Structures are given as structure tokens and as C-alpha cells.
Amino acid sequence: MNATPEVTFEPTPGSTADGTAGDTPEATPASDDPAVSDQVIAATQAALAGEHACVYGYGVVGAYLSDDAQTAAREDLAAHESQRDLLRGYLSALDAVPEAASPAYALPFTVDDAASARAFAGELEDRLAAVYLDLVASGPGLDLRRMAADALVASALRRRRWTGEVSAFPGLDEREGAPGG
């Protein structure tokens, strides 16, 4: 896989909208402070970028798996697509333009067999957990916080299924200063 850019979960400045979701959830932050809105939008865009990367990444993962594992990868891909669309809906509700996916992503390591595909799925979920943790902390809007916390739980469950490992602090362990970060 020689595509660029790297699988990164940072927002992609300057990108354009690539569609909006049918859902229009209540995502308005409880504060009128524009700095709060900016931070909520930035964290939501980062989560969307993470879901874009996962949608791309699980396509790669599934290509190296077969049978039940491939079915599981398809199910996880569908879950990430659904979550991507949900985040687009939140951003639209916040009057923000959802950022687009990159055409392709560079992988953090070579994925060329089932074992490396599983490890890559675990890596995707590790990175995704960290951006959802930021979203939990991004503002006082409880609907958004609950959605992000639920997504963090779902990510930890997928990670366990792909790697057999359970982190003591999903989303935090991946940070600089913490083990594995």
C-alpha cells in the first residue's frame, strides 16, 4: 500500500464537504461561548477524520482476512460508516462543514497477511479511542458527550476482539506520557 497521507486522526484543514448525513442530532453546546463551539467542532472534526481513516483501514483489513474474520471486518466497517455519518450530522447541526476523507492513507506498518491485518485493526481502534476521548472532554453538551463515550466503549470492544488485549485506560494509554503512547 503506497498511498498517502499517513493514517492520521488530525482534522484535515482546507478539505471540502463530501456529503451530509440524514441524521440531524441535537449537538448544540450548552455554552454560547464561541471558544467552546470552536473546540467542540474541532474535536468532532477530529473524530470524523478518525472514522474516515477507519473506513479506509477496515477495507484493507478485510482484504487479508477470510470467512468469519472477514465478515467481522465488514461489520466493523459498517459500524464505522454509520458513525461517520452520525458525526457528519452532528457537525451540520453545529453549522460546520464536515471535512472530507482523504483519497487514501499511508499505513503505519506493512499489512500483508491476516496477523498484520488484525494488528492494524487494533491500531486503528487505539487511535480512534484517543480522538473520542478528546471529544468526551471537549464540551458540556451531554448528547455529544454520551455519543462520544459510547463510541469509545465500542472501539475498546472492537480492539479486544481483534487483538485479544484489553487496555486499562482506552483512549488514554495511547497518549504521550502513558504506556504505549
The residue ranges that bind another protein (CB under 8 A) are 31, 33, 35-36, 39, 43, 129, 132-134, 136-140, 142, 145-146, 148-150, 152-153, 155-157, 159-161, 164-173, 175-181
Nearest approach in angstroms of CB 50 to another protein is 15
What's the sign of the alpha-carbon dihedral 43, 93, 125, 15? negative
Nearest approach in angstroms of CB 125 to another protein is 11
Q: For residue 161, give the 3-state DSSP assignment.
A: helix
In the bound state with another protein, the residue whose beta carbon lies nearer, of 65 and 152, is 152
Nearest approach in angstroms of CB 139 to another protein is 6
> Do 25 and 93 contact (CB within 8 A), yes or no?
yes
In the bound state with another protein, the residue whose beta carbon lies nearer, of 98 and 170, is 170
How many whole angstroms separate alpha carbon 99 and alpha carbon 26? Answer: 19
How many whole angstroms separate alpha carbon 149 and alpha carbon 156? Answer: 11
In the bound state with another protein, the residue whose beta carbon lies nearer, of 21 and 123, is 123
Lookup: cell for 63: 482484504
Nearest approach in angstroms of CB 150 to another protein is 7
Q: Where are the alpha helices (DSSP H) in 13-66?
A: 34-63
Lookup: cell for 86: 452520525
In the bound state with another protein, the residue whose beta carbon lies nearer, of 94 and 101, is 94
